[in-house]
Amino acid sequence: MTALIELTGITKVLKGQQQPRTILDGVDLTVQAGESVAIVGRSGSGKSTLLSVLGLFDRADEGSYLLAGQDISRLPERRAAKLRSSHFGFVFQRFFLLKHLTAAQNVSMALVNGQGWLPRRERRARVLQALEQVGIAHLAKNRPARMSGGEQQRVAIARALVRDPMVLLADEPTGALDTETGTAVIDALLAATERGCGLVLVTHDRDHAARMGRTLDLVDGVLTQRVTA
């Protein structure tokens, strides 16, 4: 069976004003469908950079990236956008909800993005379904300003789930939440893996990391398997 994600020798070098700095150094990572992986590491170790390579926000300088067996290391931007829409879902520490849109509109934003057009009725059904999955269908008409942090993050998760992605990428999604709400958010993400979605979670929280299938440690751009005691 081909892996959902297979990174080999991913290297990212930052060419700034000074000397080039290697941020990711030969990262190998395999994620199976339905698997959940936690990535931990010190601040500045390159976790977010790794996620942005995974999510096709950014391109690695070296190494290969296979998605379900397909090489996508050197995709043109147009096809990358298409893949982001159809295969990936993103959740960030900051929720990145648009203030001027309701919860439902924030979710349907991932559907109204020029990547295939859905009729209004179908859009509405899928948005509601996604909001239900994270348990906040009753807040569909609320704007972010009138929601708690946990509710806002769940709207963001619904937005990530609405296209039925193959991969969920979460960058410290509980970073801005208290423990209890954070746990609920992790629950919502794990629920998605039960439907066969791969999950990569960047977190500083040991308890959340422990709930994932395995935990990897990123140290100065090098990814190592954490040996759990």
Partner 1 sequence: MRRLSGRFRSALIIGLQGIRARKMRTLLSMVSLFLGVLAVVVVQAGASIADKALLSDIELASAVDGTTIIGMPMEPKATDIVLDTVDGRTDAVAMLGLTAMIGEPNVTPVNPGAAPFDEDWGGGVVCYGTGPCEPADTLPKGQAVEVRLTAMTGDVRPFRPLRPRTGQWLEFGTVPAMAPRLVVNREAAKGFERYKVPAEMRIGGATANITPQFVGVVDDGDIQPRAYVRLDELATWLPSAGVADPNSGGEMQVLVAPGSPVEQVLTTKLKAIGSETWVQTVDTKKEMESQLKLLRLVFLAMASLVLLIGVAGILNVGLATVGERVEEFALRRAVGTPRMLLAGIVLAETLLTGLFTAAVAIGLSAAGLRAVSVLFGDSEPFLKDLQFPWEAGIAGIIAGLVAGILGGFIPALRAAGIPIATVMRA
User: CA 46 to CA 12: how far, in whole Å?
Assistant: 9
Q: In the complex, what is the shortest distance from the CB of residue 23 to ligand ATP, in angstroms, rounded to a whole number?
A: 5
Least distance CB 1 / partner 1 (angstroms): 27
Instruction: Rank residues 95 and 198 by Cβ distance to partner 1 and give the closer one.
Output: 95
Residue 84 contacts ligand ATP per CB under 6 A: no
CA separation for the pair 201, 57 (Å, rounded): 16
Interacting residues with ligand ATP between 8 and 37 (CB under 6 A)? 14, 23
Out of 6, 23, 27, 48, the only residue in the binding site for Mg ion (CB under 5 A) is 48
Neighbouring residues of 13: CB distance < 8 A, sequence distance ≥ 6: 20, 21, 22, 23, 61
Is 44 a binding residue for ligand ATP by CB under 6 A? The answer is yes
Q: How far is the CB of 114 from partner 1 (least distance, A)?
A: 4
202 CB-contact burial (10 Å; exposed 0-12 / middle 13-18 / buried 19+):
buried
Q: Which does 191 bind (CB under 5 to 8 A by kind): Mg ion, partner 1, ligand ATP, none?
A: none
- Name the minimum Å distance from CB 172 to partner 1: 5
* Interacting partner of 175 out of Mg ion, partner 1, ligand ATP, none (Cβ under 5 to 8 A depending on kind): partner 1
In angstroms, give the least distance from the CB of 223 to ligand ATP.
12
Q: Among residues 47, 126, 154, 163, which is the contact residue for ligand ATP, using CB under 6 A? A: 47
Strand arrangement, sheet containing 36-40: 88-92, 167-171, 198-202, 36-40, 214-219, 222-225
Collapsing DSSP to helix, strand or coil, 168 comes out as strand
41 binds, among partner 1, ligand ATP, Mg ion, none (CB under 5 to 8 A by kind): ligand ATP
Query: In the set 7, 41, 150, 182, which binds ligand ATP (CB under 6 A)?
Result: 41
Q: How far is the CB of 31 from ligand ATP (least distance, A)?
A: 18
Which element (helix H / strand E) includes 79?
Answer: helix 77-87
Residue 16 makes CB contacts below 8 A (sequence gap 6+) with: none
Kindly state the helix (H) or strand (E) to which residue 49 belongs, with its residue range: helix 47-54
Tell which one of 25, 29, 45, 136 touches ligand ATP (CB under 6 A).
45
Q: Residue 68 CB: number of other CB atoms within 10 A?
A: 15
Residues forming contacts to ligand ATP in the complex (CB under 6 A) are 14, 23, 41, 43-49
